[in-house]
Chain A
Amino acid sequence: MIKAVALTKKFGELVAVNAIDLDIEEGEIFGFLGPNGAGKTTTIKLLTGLLKPTSGQAFIGGYDIQLEYKQAKHLIGYLPETPYLYEKLTGFEFLNFVADLYSLDNFTKKRIPQLLETFNLFQNKDHLIEGYSYGMRQKLVLSSLLLHNPKVIIIDEPMSGLDPKSSKIVKNILKELAQEGVTILISTHILALAQELCHRIGVIDEGRLIALGTIDELKALVKRSDSLEEIFLELTR
């Protein structure tokens, strides 16, 4: 469902992403780990079509993200690390706007109150977003990306700013979606989250994918049976 073929991105002389190959299956939750500045966010920006690769290709649901970007982006729900929100809209207006952007019909739009309810935002739906807390904003963007029933969800730091209750809700939703066949790519620093949610994990360092596999496969790779944290530290030493 998500595929990268020798995906490379250079920022001047700096090789931020170096010939990455990825193939993430339908219904899979894939964890993307790496130290700060390793190239995680750049890879995500290449996969979502925000940046043009220097070489290589990225595919979403079989569509080339550069050549068939409209079809590919229709399949994606993307939550960046610092999401953009229209401060002077209310939460309800924002979700309606997103629904319009995806040309959703009135029947699908009926999911808006339901999503707001799920994320405990219903009572604030008519308040301007500028008054929302960080966690509320994060939940609103999560609601917006679920609105059009995406086949692929790409999230940069999904639990950032969420309280324990909301984190639990998000984790459950992601698990349910994966069971329904949605492919999920999570970039995170929270190793416990990756260990709990992800079927497979990719570790990126200095732009290269240095390890890829299930937790057991990674353990075998570093010949240790410790926690994911120990494996991560060993790999990115």
Chain B
Amino acid sequence: MTSSSIIKVKLTIFKNILLRTSKTKLLFFFILAMFLLGGLFALLYYGLKYFEVSSPFGPYLSERLFSFFFMTLLVMLIFSNLINSYTTLYSSKENEYLLTLPLDHHWIFSVKFIESTLLSSWALMLLAIPLVITMGFLKNLPLSFYLRSASLLSIFIFIPASLGILLAITLASLFPKKRERALLFGILILLLPFCLFFIRYYRVDPRADSHIFLYRILDGLAFASSPLLPNHWLVKGMSEDYLYYLLLLGSNALMGFYLSLLIAKRLYYPSWSKWHSAETGEKGYLGASWIESLFQGMNPAIKAIIVKDIKTFFREPTLWGQLLLFLGLLLIYLPSLKDIGGPLYTLFYRHFIITLNIGGVGLILSTLNTRFVFPIFSLEGMRFWMIRLSRLEAPTLILIKFVSSSILCLVTTLTFFILTNITLRTPPFMSLISYSIILLMSLAMSGLSLGLGVLFSNLKVDNPTVVVSGLGGTINGVLCLIYVILVEVLVGLPVFLHLAGYLKTSLYHILLGFSFMGILLLSLGFCLIPLRLGIRALKEMEF
């Protein structure tokens, strides 16, 4: 009975959602997904092909990059499973219901294991599709390669799932309800592989020679190809000894699941009870007085909303935890810029690094905005009537949220950019341009996410994952990504043309100016149109 009944009901729920979703909506989703995956494929394929053709190290580098991509996928899957399973296993209301039924605790756990694995992995697995196709196209591999890859990937996901879930149980047992500590601990563990990369990277003599620079990157990436890592088995199995690596992945996935089940048998219910028995009535840290003093003289209603949002942000570790993870990654990466000198240390190099950083930060911003800013309105949920009944008008409400989310994005990314520019000794004018682009990106993506967040709000759910994984969240994620790509193209075009010898230095600067104007117009469009639509939707919203 039991676990099969729960799985059956989950399938019924899925069927009900599908049946009640309009065909147009489904078609839209499909086209959107194809567009996104196609774009990603084009980016990967042409980028890696360029590497392969233009450098003798090319094929070697692209192989290392594949391993590193899948290593990153492994780490992201562990993190995603950790976050999802922590919620699914401990704070979900469904478990409270299931635990009152005559079901074995480990059966409840196994259903939740599968659910958490699928929830955590499907989006990342979708992203792996263009990666696999790129690999196949670059090496002209036969159709069987794709079938092999699909089977290997579907087994592979259970390994990071087991690790993430085991980590979640351990953290919940060690720090019941102290989510901040649990999350910090998890983040530190997950930063480890990136630390490894940079430790290896710094080992090599940092003298300025482009080959040494390349060698350092290759050496730094070498740990991702360690034969002990599942991502290495996955990549190897795609190209050679399929059966051996399939069995290796399969046996490890089974062992991971069995180990999780064994530990869950002993620890799941006690840790669940411990988690729900942790001291209640916790005092809200970050007292009211000093935050309120920051907004003295402001309209009391506006002040109340801003202070509430700030307190909620700092008291909800899942919100700032991921921000901390990104900052950790950026801080590990930053010193690597310092010790490059000599022939590579040109104005062009600095522009190149800034272009890459803008792309990287743009991706982080798009994740932050889709994950946190987009669901802001939905998460106000049933409480929203309280705010809506205040004397505040819809535009003011949106403006408050817009300013606070933009400031949050800006503080994080600007700090990183100031540090980068200091490290690179970037000239003031170029620094100013980079700060302006970051400002525009923060405003554009906050405006876009807020506006779409209101347009696609779902006031009935309390779980941000549900809000984000809906149609609106997907559209938001895709539009953010498109925006980042467009900005990156506009910033990178002068660099590329200059590098290819099409552009003299004087024209290079003029084109930079045009690029900046393009980014300004693009950002205004991405920010203001959704905001206007959001304001209109909020005015018409019924509670």
Q: Which residues of A contact B (CB under 8 A)?
A: 9-14, 48-52, 69-74, 76, 78, 80, 82-84, 86-90, 93, 97, 100-103, 128, 130
Contact = CB atoms under 8 A, between A and B. Distances in A.
A207 to B, nearest CB: 13
Given A11-B277, A89-B12, 7 more contacts: A12-B280, A13-B279, A51-B276, A70-B102, A76-B100, A90-B16, A101-B102
8 closest cross-chain pairs (CB), A and B? A12-B279, A100-B5, A84-B97, A73-B102, A52-B273, A74-B102, A88-B13, A103-B1
Given A70-B102, A100-B1, A83 B279 contact: no
B16 to A, nearest CB: 5
Contacts of A71: 102
A49 B277 contact: no
A89 B1 contact: no
Contact of A51 (B16, B97, B273): B273
Contacts of A102: 1, 101-102
Nearest to B93: A84
6 contacts: A11-B280, A12-B280, A14-B279, A90-B16, A101-B1, A101-B6
Given A11-B279, A12-B279, A89-B16, A97 B5 contact: yes
Given A52-B273, A93-B12, A128-B16, A101 B103 contact: yes
Contacts of A90: 16
Contacts of B103: 70, 73, 101
B271 to A, nearest CB: 10
Contact of B2 (A51, A52, A86, A101): A101
B387 interface: no
A86 B17 CA distance: 12
Interface residues of B, number: 32
Contacts of A52: 269-270, 273-274, 277
Nearest to B103: A101
Contacts of B277: 9-11, 51-52
B9 interface: yes
Contact of A73 (B17, B100, B281): B100
Contacts of A69: 102
B19 to A, nearest CB: 10
B94 interface: yes
A10 B1 CA distance: 35
B523 to A, nearest CB: 38
A73 B20 CA distance: 35
A12 B5 contact: no
Nearest to A141: B97
A10 B20 CA distance: 46
Nearest to A99: B5
Contacts of B20: 128
Given A13-B279, A97-B9, A101-B5, A50 B102 contact: no
Nearest to B273: A52
Nearest to A69: B102
Contacts of B460: 87, 130
B106 to A, nearest CB: 12
A12 B282 CA distance: 11
Interface in B3-55: 5-6, 8-9, 12-13, 16-17, 20
Contact of A89 (B2, B9, B97, B100): B9
B94 to A, nearest CB: 6
Residue from A73, A78, A93, A101 with most neighbouring chain B CB atoms (10 Å): A101
A90 to B, nearest CB: 8
A50 B2 contact: no
B392 to A, nearest CB: 29
A103 B273 CA distance: 26
